[in-house]
Amino acid sequence: MKRFKVIFKFLIKSEKKLAQINLLFIFIFLIIWDFINNKQFFNAMTIGMVLFGPATFLWFVGTVRAAALIVLVSIFEFMVLLIFVAEGFELGGVESTLKSIFWIPYLLMAGINGFWGLKIYSECRENRITRHNSK
């Protein structure tokens, strides 16, 4: 049990809120988004679970290493989704553009995860460097 507490030692309110935001995004927003676009349920949610499930778990863990891994995964997701959206706008007409708009919420969420992960990682790293220099 002590090891379990050590793993979740750095879990603070901001990481817990970010995990909740990711879960709300996956289970509420993506179902509504998919129903509005395709009149289907669970397609967008399953894609969201694959894309943002690991990030949600890492936000729940809340360690510095988890934040660094969130940054790496989110940057990769952001770049891949940015290519999807940019190619859709570049190659197609109106129909392709509407399909590209489907990916914009995923792109924004990957950007938000990457930004907050980088912010938390840089703050922890800065605190560690200042503590090391003060000794």
Query: Count of CB atoms within 10 A of residue 128's CB?
Result: 11
Mean pLDDT value of segment 69-75: 90
When mean pLDDT is compared across 47-56, 71-80, 107-116, the lowest value belongs to: 47-56
**CB within 8 A of 17, min separation 6: which ones?**
none
Residue 21 has pLDDT above 80, yes or no: yes
pLDDT in tens, 85-104: 888 777 666 666 667 777 88
Q: Please give the Cα distance from 19 to 74 (Å, whole number).
A: 14
C-alpha 86: how far from its chain's center?
Answer: 20
Percent of the chain clearing pLDDT 90 (strictly above): 9
d(CA 71, CA 85): 21
Task: Name residue, tokens 């891994």.
Answer: 69
Is the pLDDT score of 57 beyond 90? no
- Decide if pLDDT at 115 tops 80: yes
Instruction: Compute the distance between CA of residue 115 and CA of residue 9 in angstroms, rounded to an integer.
Output: 22
Residue 47's Cβ-side half-sphere holds a number of Cα atoms within 13 Å equal to: 17
Taking the C-alpha atoms of residue 25 and residue 23, their distance in angstroms, rounded to an integer, is: 5
Place of tokens 């890492």: 58
With vertex at residue 53, the alpha carbon angle to CA 52 and CA 58, rounded to the nearest 5 degrees, is 95
Distance CA 96, CA 102 (A): 10
7 has a pLDDT exceeding 50: no
